[in-house]
Amino acid sequence: MTKQIDFQTDPTKYRHWRIDYDGDVAMLYMDVDENGGLFDGYQLKLNSYDLSVDIELADVVQRMRFEHPEVGAVVMRSGKDNVFCAGANIRMLGGAEHAHKVNFCKFTNETRNTFEAAGGESGQSYICAVQGACAGGGYELALACDYIMLTDDGSSNVSLPEVPLLAVLPGTGGLTRVTDKRKLRRDRADIFCSIEEGARAPKALEWNLIDEAVPNAKFDDVVAERAHEFAGRTEHTGKKGIALTPISREITETSLTYSTVKVDLDRKGGMATITVFGPKEAPGDIAALHTQGAEAWVLRAARELDDAILHLRFNELELGVVILKTQGDPAQVLAHEALLLDNADDWLAAEILLYWKRVLKRVDLTSRSLVALVEPGSCFAGMLAELMFAVDRTFMADGDFEDDARPDAQVILSQGSFGRYPMSNNLTRLQTRFLGTPEDVDAAQAKVGEMLDAQAADALGLVTYAYDDIDWEDEVRVFLEERASFSPDAMTGMEANLRFAGPETMETRIFGRLTAWQNWIFQRPNAVGETGALKSYGTGQQPVYDKRRV
């Protein structure tokens, strides 16, 4: 699968989802076009999905937040008879390259986390109304919703049949949400995840796999009633959405160029450099933010950085080192962030802050070696300062650099770094950085708003190294060359383990423990070998397993 994957879409291009809006309720129908898969060689039958379906769903969820803030409840239903969703397409999984399978699972997890959080963050609750078979990834869609309704018709059911059928795991959070979110007893979870047939309404309700079982004759009426109940929990009147206009982007063999972001591709060196350019003008007031909408720098930069990260994940697999830079006026970055922080009770300002939280998490979860270079002219301030703490190492230029007329490198912290953008472990990046010395977080917070040069930033522990003009080029070059020479497998494992210190959450369990195991299982012959379950499924041949436990 070498096709370049584009994450930009809009409702006029959807092939797999359709939406009906009725005041504060949206009906979201999964109606997968079986001939609309991302690659050749399989059909998306029975509402099964591949990445193309999830790209559209991610766009739906994003637009629901920004374009339809009047919506308080989203009902996810099937647009097909007798089936809700058969999960990830097995033919796609059997034929996909290993890296694509893993990145696909990660992206679907991130998408599910986004609508799972929408109720608590934006008062936009998701209800899953299940009629028909709801299997594997289909049930994982349901698990990420706030409320699950299952028709009691004697045949509709929920199931996680990946282990017995495919020799893989419910890799988009199924195992974790069953235990951590639904609080299913361990022995019952063991049963549920080991059987193909799943659970129909009575048992599913008894075991807390669903929230409500409804007689089929009353299903539509009860679903509508629940949707209005959930929508009424939060006031949404008076909110007028903004249009998420297309992202401006030019792709060449050596670069991606956006309006606020540039990505330079060094395939020989195995590196990519992402430069985020700060705003050139003051932000204006909150009314101006609504008028500018998607054209406002603070939203535009988030969308473009998000797209750039996804592009590198899926389309540039051999660029193992990602360098993060910024250029611009740090005071202007702070002013744009301050507009959001000072107006956090405004729905649009709040949504942009939440979007930056998601984008920064996307950076955290990207399996590349990440390094920040704080050079002269940098604008690592406000939310952009978080990029320094998301990476594995940060190098900062110390003092004047010969023949460089740009301002000396500096860092400026804001209050945003102390709670607005938590990581998957529910800690800020600075709390995670200073897990053993929380007093260092307090010391950093005491410097909010101050211009910190390299020596001050180094003394506060905000950077890894500070180098002057004499040492900068050689030290950075040696590190980058060394990092690019290491085994990418070892780097992925090391970085993923080191990035999330502190308490374990459902999210870190999904992205750390579950994803790591699925990554390993996706390479094992029992799943993907010629006689493995993914290759044997649907052929009439039973899989042949290597029975050795490892």
> Considering Cα of 81, then 93, then 511, then 3, what sign does the dihedral take?
negative
Q: How many structural domains is the chain composed of? A: 2
Amino acid of residue 118: A
Hey, what long-range contacts does 535-540 have (CB within 8 A, 24 or more apart)? 535/94, 537/90, 537/94, 537/165, 537/166, 538/90, 538/91
Total residues found in the chain within this entry: 550
**Position 2 confidence tier, pLDDT thresholds 50, 70, 90:** low
DSSP string, 109-170: HHHHHHHHHHHHHHS-EEEEEE-SEEETHHHHHHHTSSEEEEEESSS-EEE--HHHHHSS--
Choosing from 203, 231, 259, the residue where a domain stops is 231
Quick one: what percent of the chain has pLDDT higher than 70?
100
Hey, what long-range contacts does 279-287 have (CB within 8 A, 24 or more apart)? 279/328, 279/329, 279/332, 279/333, 279/335, 279/336, 280/328, 280/329, 280/332, 281/332, 282/332, 282/335, 283/335, 283/336, 283/339, 284/339, 285/339, 286/339, 286/343, 286/346, 286/348, 286/349
Specify the DSSP element, H or E, that contains 56.
helix 51-67
Same domain for 185 and 146, yes or no, is yes
The reply to whether 308 falls in a domain is yes
User: CB count, 10 Å around CB of 300?
Assistant: 21
The reply to whether 55 falls in a domain is yes
Q: What is the CATH number of the domain that holds 98?
A: 3.90.226.10
Same domain for 142 and 279, yes or no, is no
CB 86 within 8 A of CB 139: no
Q: For residues 328 and 331, give the distance between their C-alpha atoms in angstroms, rounded to a whole number.
A: 9
Same domain for 467 and 410, yes or no, is yes
Q: How does DSSP classify residue 534? A: H
pLDDT at 197: 94
Q: Is the pLDDT of residue 171 over 90?
A: no
pTM, to two decimals: 0.96
| 3-class DSSP assignment, residue 313 | helix
Residue among 314, 311, 309 at smallest CA distance from 363:
309
The reply to whether 366 falls in a domain is yes
Specify the DSSP element, H or E, that contains 258.
strand 255-258
Same domain for 191 and 270, yes or no, is no
Mean of pLDDT values over 349-370: 97
Same domain for 137 and 280, yes or no, is no
pLDDT tens digit sequence for 202-251: 999 999 999 999 999 999 999 999 999 999 998 888 899 999 999 999 99
- Among 1-5, 187-191, 324-328, 528-532, which is the least confidently predicted range? 1-5
Same domain for 217 and 288, yes or no, is no
Same domain for 78 and 125, yes or no, is yes
- Give the list of residues 6+ apart from residue 318 with CB closer than 8 angstroms, or none: 267, 270
C-alpha distance from residue 81 to each of 14, 45, 217, 402 (Å): 20, 12, 15, 70
> Considering Cα of 307, then 308, then 314, then 320, what sign does the dihedral take?
negative
Choosing from 467, 494, 521, the residue where a domain stops is 494
Same domain for 35 and 71, yes or no, is yes
pLDDT tens digit sequence for 343-357: 999 999 999 999 999
Q: Show the domain range for 290.
A: 251-494
CB 383 within 8 A of CB 360: yes
Same domain for 131 and 271, yes or no, is no
The reply to whether 6 falls in a domain is no
- Give the list of residues 6+ apart from residue 162 with CB closer than 8 angstroms, or none: 87, 136, 168, 169, 170, 171, 174, 193
**Position 306 confidence tier, pLDDT thresholds 50, 70, 90:** very high
CB 16 within 8 A of CB 49: yes
Q: For residues 204 and 129, give the distance between their C-alpha atoms in angstroms, rounded to a whole number.
A: 14
The reply to whether 542 falls in a domain is no
Q: For residues 414 and 450, give the distance between their C-alpha atoms in angstroms, rounded to a whole number.
A: 9
pLDDT at 86: 97
Q: Is the pLDDT of residue 341 over 70?
A: yes
Choosing from 444, 472, 494, the residue where a domain stops is 494
Q: For residues 57 and 63, give the distance between their C-alpha atoms in angstroms, rounded to a whole number.
A: 10
Residue whose structure tokens are 């008076």: 238
pLDDT at 513: 87
How is residue 59 written in tokens?
Answer: 């766009």
The reply to whether 537 falls in a domain is no
Q: For residues 165 and 536, give the distance between their C-alpha atoms in angstroms, rounded to a whole number.
A: 10
Same domain for 101 and 196, yes or no, is yes
Amino acid of residue 198: G
Mean of pLDDT values over 440-458: 98
**Position 1 confidence tier, pLDDT thresholds 50, 70, 90:** very low
C-alpha distance from residue 256 to each of 1, 273, 307, 488 (Å): 21, 10, 10, 23
The reply to whether 415 falls in a domain is yes
pLDDT tens digit sequence for 24-63: 999 999 999 999 999 999 999 999 999 999 999 999 999 9
> Considering Cα of 466, then 468, then 469, then 475, what sign does the dihedral take?
negative
Same domain for 296 and 418, yes or no, is yes
Same domain for 110 and 165, yes or no, is yes
pLDDT at 235: 87
The reply to whether 109 falls in a domain is yes
Cα torsion through 426, 430, 433, 434, rounded to 10:
-100
